[in-house]
Chains A and B, each alone.
Chain A
Amino acid sequence: DTEVTQTPKHLVMGMTNKKSLKCEQHMGHRAMYWYKQKAKKPPELMFVYSYEKLSINESVPSRFSPECPNSSLLNLHLHALQPEDSALYLCASSQDQPAPTDTQYFGPGTRLTVL
């Protein structure tokens, strides 16, 4: 299995809702990432997990809460989001702890709309 999968594909939520995004990979990768991508912009790194521990948080607001229950799964819990948080949320993984030359493989993304 050489894929990163993400669910759901689309999510519409209100500003008072709590929801979660899920990402899964079965490539044995030990580094996993969350990115946010706005329309016509490059992906922006949000969080990095290395060996199931949070290693990088790019000053992301606390209404986004990542979780890595095991080496194959990565979640992003959402609470009290704002309309400007509407974007494509991409998960990625790479083989080892983030190393400068490790290729990242992206999931298909979750298109999030906050009303």
Chain B
Amino acid sequence: GENVEQHPSTLSVQEGDSAVIKCTYSDSASNYFPWYKQELGKRPQLIIDIRSNVGEKKDQRIAVTLNKTAKHFSLHITETQPEDSAVYFCAADNMLTFGGGTRLMVKP
């Protein structure tokens, strides 16, 4: 089955800096890579996703890049704000094999 690894497990940045979270996956047949943000005590919320027919997708301060050859994809958050502080999960495919999560802390 699919295996997704996510790094780093914790990330602390200063407000206004950029944050990058990386994931690798094992199943070359995977075609869909969503990113979820989960605030403490809340549900996972989809923030951006990418399908294998594109290499990059951007939505305001958030972007995702995908390298199918290397089987890795990354989340980029620019101009971070304190409200970006949360746990971020990457996942592969609809059955949502999740990565282990990254706790992002944005210091004001």
- Partner-B contacts on A (CB < 8 A): 35, 40-43, 45, 48, 56, 90, 94, 98-109
Residues on the A chain within 8 Å of B36, using CB: 106
| 10 closest residue pairs by CB, A with B | A42-B98, A101-B32, A106-B43, A100-B93, A108-B43, A100-B94, A106-B44, A100-B31, A102-B94, A98-B94
- Specify which of B32, B34, B43, B100 is in contact with A42 (CB 8 Å cutoff): B100
Given contacts A42-B99, A98-B95, contact A107 B43 (CB under 8 A): yes
Given contacts A42-B89, A108-B42, contact A100 B30 (CB under 8 A): yes
Give the interface segment out of B45-53, B58-66, B75-83. B45-53
- Minimal beta-carbon separation of B31 from chain A (angstroms): 5
Residues on the B chain within 8 Å of A101, using CB: 31-32, 51, 94
Residues on the A chain within 8 Å of B89, using CB: 42-43
Q: Are A45 and B95 in contact (CB under 8 A)?
A: yes
10 A-B residue pairs with CB within 8 Å: A40-B101, A41-B101, A43-B44, A45-B95, A48-B95, A94-B94, A100-B31, A101-B32, A106-B44, A108-B43
Q: How large is the interface on B (under 10, 10 to 19, 20 to 34, 35 or more residues)?
A: 20 to 34
| Beyond A43-B44, A99-B94, 13 additional pairs, beta carbon < 8 A | A42-B89, A42-B101, A43-B89, A45-B96, A56-B95, A90-B43, A98-B95, A100-B32, A100-B93, A104-B34, A106-B44, A107-B43, A108-B43
Docked CA distance A58–B93 (Å): 16
Docked CA distance A35–B31 (Å): 21
- Minimal beta-carbon separation of A98 from chain B (angstroms): 5
- Minimal beta-carbon separation of B95 from chain A (angstroms): 6
Docked CA distance A48–B94 (Å): 11
- Minimal beta-carbon separation of A35 from chain B (angstroms): 8
- Minimal beta-carbon separation of A45 from chain B (angstroms): 6
Q: Mark B19-57, 1 if CB is under 8 A from A, else 0.
A: 000000000001110101000001111100101000000
Interface centre among A41, A103, A106 (most CB of B within 10 A): A106
Q: Are A103 and B95 in contact (CB under 8 A)?
A: no
